[in-house]
Chains A and B, each alone.
Chain A
Amino acid sequence: MSGSAPRLTARGVAKSFGATPVLHAVSLELAVGSVHAMLGENGAGKSTLLKILAGVERPDAGSLELDGAAYAPSGPLDARARGVAIVHQELSLCAHLGVAENIVLGSEPRRFGWLSRREANLRAERALALLSDGGTTLPLDARVGALSAAEQQLVEIARALAHDDCRLLILDEPTSSLGHADVERLFATLSALRERGLTILYVSHFLDEIRRIADRYTVLRDGREVASGAVRDTTNEALVTAMAGEAVEVGTARARSPGEVVLSLHEVRGARLPKAASLELRRGEVLGIAGLMGSGRTELLRAVFGLDRVRSGRVRVRGLVGEATPRARLAQGVGLLSEDRAREGLALGLSVAKNLTLSRLKPLLRRGFLSQRAEHDAAAFWIARLGIRARGPDQRVRELSGGNQQKIAVARLLYHDVDVLLLDEPTRGIDVRSRAELHELIGELCAEGKAVLIVSSHFDELIALCDRVAVMHKGVLGPARSVSGLDERALLQEAAGA
């Protein structure tokens, strides 16, 4: 490490958005052929720093050096040309274009001035192969908008890998929507890239991932670098303390007594997926659905909530076969957290308060008119309750960090006060401390008699959180079993169909 010149050096990088300082003179050194982890709580400034390195944002102060030469990218394309590629936290694909077209976007191969589809396909195939080693492959001409969040994430990563001249690869929470197998393949690829001398800057809220893949780490807190060093010289506890600025207690009390059935599914079949799903969800219980990407777990939640059509089978809420539209479901006390906060979960252009209260405006009415005051009070309450980092209820959701956006989406369901929570990847992008707090909150909700049906790619999370777990495989939901006696490995094998 020492001896060879660093790949990238950042000195005193500072950035403010309006009057809000986000980064205060951050310095960073990335070695050649290493994986460097960037850690920090939601809103600490990680994505902002990464965007500066990738030419997406301009720093207010400070200087950058890439392989010893001054580096001040004028934009993402310029950064690309210098060998810096980034995978953003939020998907940035063109939904109407195909997989291959997205992967070569911005550097389309040309022959005599015309687009070369063959060359594009070849390049895309090569990049995807790095991530799939002959396993599941995506059709190159599939429209990206029709893919699941995890599949889109793979396309996004492949796009960054499609460059042979890449020197620094920046990954901002690449695994937040990936399943176990995809994470494994990504890690194998990253290790191979590191061997080839690439430098990788990696953001994740999963400390186990950091421990496995990263050589060095830097912890940001409130836009300041508060700790750094070699990963093997530190403990997870020390990292969490550095991120939070104080010791964090992670309690996992779980003594619940489920009540009567509130949601029951009988042989539910959707338009394409799921193929057959039956389950009973009781008051005061957390039921998990484990499944691989494409197994139909998201489709099941959407069908139950009335966003997708139910082709056959029966959904009963508190014993009644009610109307199956999102509006009716909400009235019946059933709410859904979307897996895709940017495209579906949130209206990014609207304020925090408007997003939070959107599904339930009635309590805000005073003499028939919406009260700004009531709206603010409701928003302020949930901002405080979930520790959301926002300037205030009027800030646009677009301006929040990814994890804080996720918290807004969760807060809407809590504000709505639904009885049955259908949660699709609820902790996506949420930091370690907040994840523990959210788990605790879910426990409290259950104690109040609410019921939670949860889908997560992270099976260890399901085991930690759920009373029972059912495995979904190729659209068919297995029986729900008590988590005591289940372990992650067994779930993974079942989800894979073994």
Chain B
Amino acid sequence: MKELLRRSWVGPLAALVAVYALFSVLAPATFPGGVNLTTMLRQTAVVAVSSLGMTFVILLGGIDLSIGSAVALTSVVVARVLQSGAGVVAAVTLGVLATVVTGWLNGVLAARGKITPFIVTLGSMSVLRGVAKGLAGEQKIDADPHGLEHLMTAGAGAALPAGVWLTLALAVAAAIVLHFTVFGRHVLAIGSNENTARLCGIPVERVVVAVYALCGALTGVAGVLEFSTLTVGDPTDSIGLELEAIAAVVIGGGSLAGGQGSVAGTLLGALLMTVIKTGCTHVGLPNWVQEILTGVIIVVAVGIDRLRRR
């Protein structure tokens, strides 16, 4: 029991259950139930997948501010490739590849160029947004999704769409990588104490580059999911997504100082934010109240977490 309470995801799980119960009481007609749950899971998918990447980056002691722009870039690339008639596989591959490359570049600049990740990705946030807009000619790109839209549409009843299953599968894979592979252990070590990592012969630069590239890959997948939700390539989409991803990680017990965080916590954090948003809508609270509530929850969650760690 005591051991269980020490787990970092217990706090966000409790918060999630509490908030879910609260809205179920406040809006008993519409909020509880399978259909709304499916909707909320669907709405969480994009944030969840990109915060998986962010979890690795933050565990490492870094940050990636370019995630929102990268998602927009992927959606534009996918749309452009589909428009050119090259088919779904090529579109998805190129869309994801684009952000792998940009993530890799972030990593190279941070690790080998010795520039703080905050600055590097602040730069790439702007660059990628610009590239997306340039590539899209500053407008939304309509393209026949060729079935990609089914990724995010629910089946009959409350059946989960493929995109949600994909999110879960990626999360499980991420957790396995983190806990049971040498790579994951290296990430944890670098985030806890980079000097120790070096002393123990961990190839610090290589791991850092790999983590940013991995974050890029996951962001690319998030971008594909975003495209299949919107069915257009939108260069102005997902502004501020990076902050939501950071919030998800931090609510889930991650520390911006590195070395702390968990995949389960991050997922719960992402879900918590969706539940608050959706719940507020169901109860009829205006948008500005949602934003205040979300902000308060972030600070409270982290505050409680720090107290618990004492």
With A and B bound together, what is the CA distance between A118 and B203 in angstroms? 45
A346 within 8 A of B: yes
Which residues of the other chain, A, contact B176 by a CB distance below 8 angstroms?
369
> Is the beta-carbon distance between B182 and A347 smaller than 8 angstroms?
no
The chain B residue with its CB closest to the CB of A357 is B185
B192 in complex: contacting residue of A18, A336, A348, CB < 8 Å: A348
B201 within 8 A of A: yes
The chain B residue with its CB closest to the CB of A328 is B201
> Is the beta-carbon distance between B259 and A349 smaller than 8 angstroms?
yes
> Is the beta-carbon distance between A307 and B196 smaller than 8 angstroms?
no
Which residues of the other chain, A, contact B7 by a CB distance below 8 angstroms?
none
> Is the beta-carbon distance between A359 and B200 smaller than 8 angstroms?
yes
Contact A370-B192, Cβ < 8 Å, known A327-B202, A350-B259: no
Interface residues of B in 203-235 (CB under 8 A from A): 203
Which residues of the other chain, A, contact B181 by a CB distance below 8 angstroms?
368-370
With A and B bound together, what is the CA distance between A326 and B207 in angstroms? 15
Which residues of the other chain, A, contact B189 by a CB distance below 8 angstroms?
347, 350, 354, 358
Q: Which of A337-345, A379-387, A446-454, A490-498 contacts B (4 or more CB under 8 A)?
A: A337-345
A349 in complex: contacting residue of B182, B192, B198, CB < 8 Å: B192
> Is the beta-carbon distance between A370 and B200 smaller than 8 angstroms?
no
B139 within 8 A of A: no
> Is the beta-carbon distance between B199 and A361 smaller than 8 angstroms?
no
A346 in complex: contacting residue of B179, B188, B196, B202, CB < 8 Å: B196
Which residues of the other chain, B, contact A336 by a CB distance below 8 angstroms?
199
A-facing mask of B170-195, CB < 8 A → 1, else 0? 00000010011110110011001101
A142 within 8 A of B: no
> Is the beta-carbon distance between A347 and B196 smaller than 8 angstroms?
yes
> Is the beta-carbon distance between B180 and A344 smaller than 8 angstroms?
no
A330 within 8 A of B: yes
B260 within 8 A of A: yes
With A and B bound together, what is the CA distance between A370 and B188 in angstroms? 14
Which residues of the other chain, A, contact B193 by a CB distance below 8 angstroms?
343-344, 346-349
Which residues of the other chain, A, contact B200 by a CB distance below 8 angstroms?
326, 330, 358-359, 412
Interface residues of B in 242-286 (CB under 8 A from A): 259-260
For residue A411, give the distance in angstroms from its CB to the closest CB of chain B.
13
Interface residues of A in 294-315 (CB under 8 A from B): 307
Which residues of the other chain, A, contact B184 by a CB distance below 8 angstroms?
370
A320 within 8 A of B: no
Give the number of chain A interface residues (Cβ < 8 Å).
31
Give the number of chain B interface residues (Cβ < 8 Å).
23
For residue A172, give the distance in angstroms from its CB to the closest CB of chain B.
22
Question: Quick one: which of B2, B192, B198, B199 has the most chain A CB within 10 A?
Answer: B199
> Is the beta-carbon distance between A370 and B260 smaller than 8 angstroms?
no
> Is the beta-carbon distance between B201 and A359 smaller than 8 angstroms?
yes
For residue B176, give the distance in angstroms from its CB to the closest CB of chain A.
8
With A and B bound together, what is the CA distance between A345 and B198 in angstroms? 10
B196 in complex: contacting residue of A329, A358, A365, CB < 8 Å: A358
For residue B6, give the distance in angstroms from its CB to the closest CB of chain A.
10
Which residues of the other chain, B, contact A362 by a CB distance below 8 angstroms?
182
The chain B residue with its CB closest to the CB of A344 is B195
For residue B129, give the distance in angstroms from its CB to the closest CB of chain A.
34
> Is the beta-carbon distance between A343 and B195 smaller than 8 angstroms?
yes
> Is the beta-carbon distance between A327 and B201 smaller than 8 angstroms?
yes
Interface residues of B in 145-189 (CB under 8 A from A): 176, 179-182, 184-185, 188-189
The chain B residue with its CB closest to the CB of A366 is B180
A331 within 8 A of B: yes
For residue B123, give the distance in angstroms from its CB to the closest CB of chain A.
25
The chain A residue with its CB closest to the CB of B3 is A394
Which residues of the other chain, B, contact A354 by a CB distance below 8 angstroms?
185, 188-189
Which residues of the other chain, B, contact A343 by a CB distance below 8 angstroms?
193, 195
> Is the beta-carbon distance between B199 and A345 smaller than 8 angstroms?
yes
With A and B bound together, what is the CA distance between A358 and B2 in angstroms? 27
The chain B residue with its CB closest to the CB of A305 is B199
Which residues of the other chain, A, contact B260 by a CB distance below 8 angstroms?
349
For residue A473, give the distance in angstroms from its CB to the closest CB of chain B.
27
Which residues of the other chain, B, contact A369 by a CB distance below 8 angstroms?
176, 180-181
With A and B bound together, what is the CA distance between A343 and B195 in angstroms? 7
A361 in complex: contacting residue of B179, B185, B195, B259, CB < 8 Å: B185
> Is the beta-carbon distance between A361 and B201 smaller than 8 angstroms?
no
With A and B bound together, what is the CA distance between A331 and B201 in angstroms? 9
B199 in complex: contacting residue of A326, A349, A368, CB < 8 Å: A326
Contact A307-B201, Cβ < 8 Å, known A354-B188, A370-B181: no
B198 in complex: contacting residue of A307, A346, A348, CB < 8 Å: A307
With A and B bound together, what is the CA distance between A338 and B181 in angstroms? 26
> Is the beta-carbon distance between B201 and A370 smaller than 8 angstroms?
no
> Is the beta-carbon distance between B198 and A370 smaller than 8 angstroms?
no
The chain A residue with its CB closest to the CB of B179 is A370
For residue B261, give the distance in angstroms from its CB to the closest CB of chain A.
12
Which residues of the other chain, B, contact A348 by a CB distance below 8 angstroms?
192-193
> Is the beta-carbon distance between A361 and B196 smaller than 8 angstroms?
no
Interface of A toward B, CB cutoff 8 Å: 18-19, 307, 325-331, 336, 338, 343-350, 354-355, 358-359, 361-362, 365, 368-370, 412
Known: A343-B193, A344-B199, A358-B202. 19 other contacts (CB 8 A): A18-B2, A326-B201, A336-B199, A338-B199, A343-B195, A344-B193, A346-B196, A347-B192, A347-B197, A347-B259, A349-B192, A349-B193, A350-B188, A350-B189, A358-B185, A358-B189, A358-B197, A369-B180, A370-B179
Interface of B toward A, CB cutoff 8 Å: 2, 176, 179-182, 184-185, 188-189, 192-193, 195-203, 259-260
A/B interface sample: 20 pairs, CB < 8 A: A326-B200, A327-B201, A327-B202, A329-B201, A330-B200, A331-B201, A344-B196, A344-B199, A345-B196, A346-B196, A348-B193, A349-B259, A350-B188, A358-B185, A358-B196, A359-B200, A369-B180, A369-B181, A370-B181, A370-B182
- 9 nearest CB pairs, A to B: A347-B192, A359-B200, A327-B201, A347-B193, A330-B201, A344-B195, A369-B180, A358-B200, A347-B196
